[in-house]
Amino acid sequence: MMADQPPDDAGPFDRLGYPKPAQNPPSKRLMREAAIRVVMPHLAEILEAQIKKAKGVKHLVGRNESGQFKKITPDQLDDFEHIEVWERDPDVSAIVDILNRCLDKPKEQAQELIVSDGDKVRERINALRPKRGE
């Protein structure tokens, strides 16, 4: 263990370099800073994984002796007689998430609601409401 690292039994705040709060939970700003410290070293890998998911992922699978398919790595090719490449369709939610984060979320379109004969609608709603005391 290096001198600047907390011990293995340290709490989550010690591992992130923050003192443990006495009684009150940490502020949202403090928690955001802690999350950023944890995520930033892995950001490139996370973005690559999200992009792969958005584009559609390919899996190398091999059939074992019992007939079940199992994900395999290229170094396991000799262990299986039957090998296939399975492809998942692009994930639309991953595409939307990436675009919203990179290009800003599109503004919600205002919905225009035009009610003709509003007085008749209001009368009908009031007629269907239960009367007080009933």
Q: How far is CA 70 from the centre of its chain?
A: 26
Q: Which of 96, 74, 92 is nearest to 83 (CA)?
A: 74
pLDDT in tens, the chain (134 residues): 444 555 555 566 666 666 666 677 778 888 888 888 888 999 999 989 889 888 888 888 988 888 888 888 888 888 888 888 888 888 888 888 888 888 877 777 677 767 677 788 788 888 888 877 65
Residue 10 falls within a domain, yes or no? no
In a domain, 1, yes or no: no
- The CA-atom distances, in angstroms, between 87 and each of 9, 52, 56, 58, 113 are 42, 11, 7, 4, 44
Residue 12 lies in a domain: no
Q: Is 130 a member of any domain? A: no
* 114 within domain boundaries: no
Question: pTM (2 decimals)?
Answer: 0.48
* Number of separate domains in the chain: 1
For residue 96, being part of any structural domain is answered with: yes
The parent domain of residue 79 ranges over 25-105
